[in-house]
Chains A and B, each alone.
Chain A
Amino acid sequence: MRYLMFVKTDESMPAGPPPPALYQAIGELGEQQAKDGSMILTGGLHGSAEGALVNLADGRIDVIDGPFAESKELIGGFAMFDVRDKDEALEHARRFLQVHADHWPGCVATVEVRRVMEDNEFVMPS
């Protein structure tokens, strides 16, 4: 089964910018996870300054350009895993955060783990 994971950090985190060693360690972990067949897709995301929010409210659609200074949930990257069960997905998430703990003291981060719908689960509402 497949799980999509987003890593979120808090912009106001006191730890400062991520050290280069973190990127290297994440790269090495990712290489390992791709090699054992579990990580099938991964990507990083630019800061919110290069993005926007497109909102719908009261029948009106508004575009708000980034950056979003108040955001507590900056999504830094995503990865898709192909694993046997949820426990394996959680262990991969744990390893990813362990690398952060090892290389970025004071880091506060969350990995959101979501199961991807399989083709046959995706039923259009009739």
Chain B
Amino acid sequence: MSIAEQSPAPRDVRRSIETVWRMESAKLIAAMVRVVRDVQLAEDLAQDALVAALQQWPRTGIPANPGAWLTVIAKRRAVDHFRRGERHERAVEQLGRVSELEGAVMPDLEAGNEVDDDLLRLMFICCHPVLSKPAQVALTLRLLGGLTTAEIARAFLTPEPTVGQRISRAKKTIERHRVAFEEPGAEERARRLSAVLEVVYLVFNEGYAATGGDDWMRPGLTLEAVRLGRVLAGVAPDSAAVHGLLALMELQASRGPARTGPSGEPILLMDQDRSRWDHILIRHGLGALERAEALAVGPDRYVLQAGIAACHALARVAPDTDWAQIVALYGQLVQLEPSPVVELNRAVALAMARGAAEGLAVVDALAAAGTLAGYHLLPSVRGDLLQRLGRTAEARAEFERAAAMTGNARERTLLLDRAAAC
């Protein structure tokens, strides 16, 4: 909604209110979902609280604890809503809710556990298996990231009405399946958590290596995913996978500044100026990895991948990279989740650890299997290994093939440059 059109508030006050709203909306909506068990209604009540803030705060100033203020108002609106009996079909539930609400009109917003549980519940709802992956992503960014439909549409290069429809359909599906009423048990929670991690990592990857469009990275999405990962680590601190994913994202994001050259062209990991890596993020990432490894009871895909990223982060110069360790970690990863993409990465590491010929043997086996047909990194890696073995004509053909397959303009230029240099 356009706040600007509704509010008589002076611009700077309105901006402060919008900022508070963006910072608090996830917690607010999450708290309201707990009491009303209806995502759309929770969002509407939160919006009502925002409108009330826009009316009152310009006169009274921003309250000392704006989040608590918004929650009190939203809960009062919920009581009004149920009293009016706008939804007769839920009369019985409503009675219970009204008494619960009245008991909680002055919420202790800072009661950490409840806020954590609320946020985690909302994450589970947004990433519920009844929803498609794109719907999970859109709903998560909207409700937990506080992004507008327009921002999500822009980030994913999708028309705004499509995203809008996706979100409203998702909310209807949630209501139809009564998802907001579920309280998953321990086993189901683990499954749900991994769905949440998948969504967060998908958002990260879309930002980190944009699959389409003219830009190599969309840093906004990357940052949003890291932020969600940090929140997740706060609300589910006992999960090795959560800390593993956070470590992976922080470590990968730490290379952000070094991944592009002066005109936005991509710079590959081994060629990056490591003094430009972000050491705050590296420290965060290594800390998260340590927590993940302490909590891990068995191999975990994110913890293993973060371990690989840490091998790079710990190498001050590229030749210091512990490739043997990386090969070992990729080996564990392939065992855990057999995947041609991971196998391709293992081949790259193997080539670094034991020579291009050994890597090429693995890549050739993958090419023969045909499972990666259409994946531009297969010819790209193959071209690289062939070049190192001095088979330049074959290398050039592979780079050209890879260039024709990628959807990213920057990457295509890089690949064509490599072909030309063969």
Contacts and interface: CB of A to CB of B under 8 A. Distances in A.
A120 interface: yes
Contact of B234 (A36, A88, A91, A101): A36
Contact of B16 (A34, A87, A98, A119): A87
B255 to A, nearest CB: 11
A60 interface: no
Nearest to B235: A35
A37 B23 contact: no
Range class of the A interface residue count: 20 to 34
A94 interface: yes
A58 interface: no
A105 to B, nearest CB: 14
Contacts of B278: 119
B280 A40 contact: yes
Nearest to A82: B223
A62 interface: no
A88 B65 CA distance: 15
B280 A35 contact: no
A87 B19 contact: yes
B53 interface: no
Contacts of B227: 36-38, 82
Contacts of A35: 230-231, 234
B157 interface: no
Contacts of B191: none
A21 B403 CA distance: 62
Interface of B: 15-16, 18-20, 22-23, 62, 64-65, 110, 223, 226-231, 234, 257-258, 260, 276, 278, 280-281, 284
Given A36-B230, A37-B228, A37-B230, 4 more contacts: A87-B15, A88-B22, A91-B16, A120-B260
